[in-house]
A and B are shown apart, each in its own frame.
Chain A
Amino acid sequence: MGYYYNYGLVTFLVIVIALYLLFTGSGEAFNVGRFLEESSPYAWAATGIGLCIGLSVLGAGWGIFITGASILGGGVRAPRISTKNLISIIFCEVVAIYGVIIGIVYSAKLASVPDDILYTRQNYFTGYAMFWGGFTVGMCNLLCGVCVGITGSTAALSDAADPNLFVKILVVEVFGSILGLFGLIVGLLMTSAAQEFKGAESTSSPLASPFVH
């Protein structure tokens, strides 16, 4: 019960501030739509690309250190496992390569557009699609990397005990690595309709949102 004690202060402050805004008549200051419309599409897109490669590398690195520790530990008593189990390490690294490829595909859509003609409907869509596509690919690769890492670590230890088990556990690793592929397919589908950042055709037509000035 003592672990969650500190959350009470933050919750209390948030509730007091929210009620203050509500009761003094400025309750519309909390405006999600305004935040979405006035934040720059570049911020969303660049954050998506960063999350994509960052989370993918996190998953791959996590998998490699789990597998590597087991291979090294098991290799003390059974030195023959150390060469064949490098397959598990390569599986984890493929996950990082998926993240790099999606990062390259997305960053090709970033183009420099001046501020006053940036906020068009297509550019908003591109920004949001790249953010959520990058986040999707990153999370899928993170969990895929952890999955392949733990399976690879167990493969190394069971190979040390009984060499016939390695090929069977490799099948499980193949299934785990397909998860990263699924995330990548969905990420590509999400941004297939997103064009690169382009300026508005003419400044006389009003931009998409009255909140941008």
Chain B
Amino acid sequence: TEQAAIGKLNTQAASNGTLFKLVIFSLSLGIIPLTSYYGSLFYLWNGNSTLAAITAIVAANLVLIAYIVLSVLEDKQA
């Protein structure tokens, strides 16, 4: 039946860690830009906050691209 198929897909999703991957990426989407902002502010750009903000934006976009690539690869596998 349809409901049995959905139940099976849910256990499959839980066992291959899709939700876990989403949680990890959401947390890193918050943590990585902020740490790169503060890190680059003091150690790379000597206090120029505009360049540090641009670094943080690039970091956020890299996390986003990594998530998209991993999702598409995982989808190709399944």
Residue numbers of A with Cβ under 8 A of B are 76, 79-80, 82-84, 86-87, 89-91, 93-94, 97-98, 100-102, 104-105, 108, 167, 170, 181, 184, 188, 192
Contact = CB atoms under 8 A, between A and B. Distances in A.
B50 A79 contact: no
Give the contact-size bracket for chain B.
20 to 34
A98 B26 CA distance: 14
B29 A188 contact: no
A84 B75 contact: yes
Nearest to A83: B18
Question: Helix, strand, loop or mixed for chain A's interface?
Answer: helix
Contact of B60 (A82, A86, A97): A97
B71 A83 contact: yes
Interface in B13-52: 13, 18, 22, 25-26, 29-30, 33-34, 37, 49-50, 52
Contact of A90 (B13, B26, B33): B26
B57 A101 contact: yes
B5 to A, nearest CB: 7
A86 B19 CA distance: 10
Given A89-B22, A104-B37, A167-B72, 14 more contacts: A79-B5, A82-B9, A83-B71, A86-B18, A90-B22, A90-B64, A90-B67, A90-B68, A94-B61, A97-B60, A104-B34, A105-B52, A181-B57, A184-B57
